Amino acid sequence: MSAGLPCAGLRVVELAVGVSDLGVGLAGGVPGLLLADLGATVTRVVGAAPVPLDAEVPWGRAWHRDKRIVRADDAAMALALLREADVALVYGPEERVERRGLGYRDLVKDNPSLVYARCRPSRTAKGETADYGMLVEASAGLYTQLAGHRPGPVFVDARASGVGTASLLSVSVLALLRRRALTGAGGWAETSLYDGMLATLGCMIGRSEAAPEEVESYWAKGSTFPNFLYRCADGELIQVWFGGKGMYAALIEVLGDEPSEDGYYTDQMTGRLGVRAARWSALFARRPRPDWITALRAAGVACEPVLGPGEALHDPHLTETALALTREDNGTTYVLPGSPITVSPLTPPPGDTQHGPAARSTEPGSPTPPREAGHGSLAAESGSSEAPAGPVAPGAAVGSGPGLLAGLRVADFSAFVAGPLAAEVLADLGADVVKVEPPGGEAMRAAAYAVAACQRGKRSVALDIGAPEAREAVERLLTWADVVVHNFRVGVAERLGIGAADVARVNPGAVYCHASAFGDSGPRARFPGNDALMQAVTGFEAAIGGAGNDPIAATWIPLDMAGGWVAAGGVLAGLLGSAADGAGRRVVTSLLGAGMLAHSGVHLRDGDLVLGPSLDGGQTGYGPGYRIYECADGAWLAVVVPDPAAWARLGESVADLPDAYAPLRGGPSDETARKAEAILEAAFAAEPAAAWTARLGEIGALCEPVELLDRDGFRAAILDDPVNRQTGRAVAYPTADWGRFEQIGPLLRYGPSDEPPSAAVRLSLPGVGEHTAEVLAETGMSRADIAALLATGKARQLKEAP
């Protein structure tokens, strides 16, 4: 295994027979794609006949680039590939997998070192939901959590279930591979589209016994924070963010608004910020967007143009940072989204000019269209320990505690969401994670949702890392850690003395992760970024708004969450590489790269966007065979018509439905699909939901009721579900400030192990500086030196701590 590509030499098999690209979304293609970009050879096994629903879905060109495609209806062929595989990514119902001898228990007999990751159909107390993201999200109530452009539930085109499931599968596989590299043992992991949806909602779901009203109100009622999205004089939209130091005053000055006497936080708490935000609409309408972007950036205020999905692929920054890859195929030029993870040596060899993002593997492993490898016949299958002081090379040994990362030590210098969430994922896997924050606590301590979603399971060291008095403590932490994580803007970590070179000097075997905004190189590397800006520039807001409508921002910061999962995957890829040779790794991920994942099937063909299915202006879905319908009684149904046979049977009870199967808008069958959609919309509106549910079941179509839940009902449906409690998807534990607290729990499920995965998780939220003295003592710092540091005020020990 080479130092540059941690998955080099690994053989990955994706078994995706009987599942739809449209249905499972990113979950079915992106995990294998990320492994291919990290050096693995990936073979994708699909049925000999394409899935009818996917006939006009072009996203596979992007998701399955650099994979070898095997079209087979012969289970024996799939079994032979899986017996020789290092990794299996397996999708579909039990009759297609376990009942055909393709489950983990069958395969491990002949292949004991296999890493097997299973995406199962979603199960809650309501029952099982088929593997279609729309059905899972509608049934869960996600479609009532955003106000749309019309009354009632709206199809939320955030790809929540697909993004989250891809993250869970990727992280699980990389963690299991790292353990295998150290011990030789394989293992399994499992998840579902429902788990994936939950993985994006950590900042949204919480319930407390005694939190202050402003805290509990957010979880019960949702955010009232303005979005700061404005239309300019040229009709174009701009997204503004001013959470950084001095940005609020600078924005006010650029706009010519009256100065704030009390500042950003006071204006926010008193409601004056909302008043300002409303009147700024008229101010932004006075000048075109390019003028505003120039003026705001010159003043140090963060802003981004609001683009559609895939439009950012035209930006040279994405090409320079390998987030956009150019491929040629038979005279056609494609630009496809690249990997959001870069892994390179922490200490580059002398004369290495490729250290950094340019070291990413960008060479095609196959022609742009995935390679075809013949036909068989598979469509017929059914069926916390104290760590010793001083450095220990990552992967030198596996700890004795529970969890895949038992014994691993992480120094988390990050703030806000993406970096801290990455470190929390490592804690969920059993790592000892120390959050290093200022003596007054990191800025996001004021945002309870971020603390709840991103700090669970950590220990807190309160330390002014930029103070000369704290330098010894900082260096000891860098030496103590196996992993160092931060998400500072480019150049800040170096100024604070925790940059890659600083870590390499004192701890050359460490994995160093920079969870950046735009990457650490390229023309936009130093730009500030956050969830709102990335929703704008990656097309996320425009996609949710629907065709012809104003964009709508998802309020649960999904791209910050995606950025955290991607960074966790990057750390694990670095650890996998280090396990092979003991050398350190430098990992760079970005919010931009994570944001591009959501609509990563969109690509360019000879300069033109290839969008695939897109949300309509009515915000109902992608076409007559994949959308939500309102019935006569005011209830809504999410409906999938998966194949021509179901379509024909539907036509027997719906007059004038076209004979041709046309489930989606936007492709060659667009005219037929739009005609069919109007006919079906009228038919559903003529009868109650119960009648349609029975009829659809009889003809082989799939449907789920759209749960009409307010925010409080939505969180209750998740937290009070008995299956969620049993599986650990929902957890409760005592906290110092909020009493008994409930939230989405650790979602990674894996084995085999003597301990359940939950045993690796510390269910607690640390107070600021609760573990300062304890951790510094573990790094080898003397009690006298710790006491002296605390006396300077540059470190803090929570008085209530033992």
The predicted pLDDT at position 245 comes to 81
pLDDT, tens digit, 9 for 90 and up, residues 517-526: 999 999 999 9
Q: Tell me: pLDDT of 454 over 70.
A: yes
pLDDT for 363 beyond 50 = no
3-state secondary structure 611-648: CCCCCCCCCCEEECCEEEEECCCCCEEEEECCCHHHHH
In tens, the pLDDT along 561-595 reads 999 999 999 999 999 999 999 999 999 999 999 99
> Mean pLDDT over residues 730-743, rounded?
97
The contacts of residue 128 (CB under 8 Å, 6+ apart) are 121, 122
**% of the chain surpassing 70 pLDDT:** 93
In this predicted structure, what is the pLDDT of residue 754? 77
pLDDT given for residue 270 in this prediction: 85
CB-CB contact of 98 with 111 (8 Å): no
- Give the pLDDT score at 380: 27
CB 428 within 8 A of CB 731: no
Position 225 scores a pLDDT of: 83
Q: Which of 127-136, 616-625, 642-651, 747-756 is least confident?
A: 747-756
Taking each helix axis from N to C terminus, what angle separates 133-140 and 160-183, rounded to the nearest 10 degrees?
110
CA separation for the pair 516, 60 (Å, rounded): 28
DSSP 8-state secondary structure symbol assigned to residue 555: T
pTM given for the model: 0.94
Q: Residues 795, 773: contact at Cβ < 8 Å?
A: no
pLDDT at 368 over 60: no
What mean pLDDT is predicted for residues 219-226?
A: 90
Work out the angle at residue 168's Cα, subtended by the Cα atoms of residues 538 and 742, and round it to the nearest 5 degrees. Answer: 100
Query: Would you say residue 347 has pLDDT above 50?
Result: yes
More confidently predicted of 373 and 58: 58
Does residue 374 have a pLDDT over 60?
no
Q: 351 falls in which pLDDT band (50, 70, 90)? A: low
pLDDT above 80 for 724: yes
pLDDT of residue 350: 62
Residue 447 pLDDT: 87
Distance between CA 468 and CA 481 in Å, rounded? 21
pLDDT score for 354? 43
Computed over every residue of the chain, the mean pLDDT equals: 92
% of the chain with per-residue pLDDT over 90: 87
| Mean pLDDT across 618-646 | 98
Are 736 and 767 spatial neighbours (Cβ–Cβ below 8 Å)?
yes
Q: Which two tokens stand for residue 735?
A: 């906290």
pLDDT at 430 over 80: yes
Whether the CB-CB separation of 407 and 400 falls below 8 Å is answered with: yes
Residues in the chain: 802
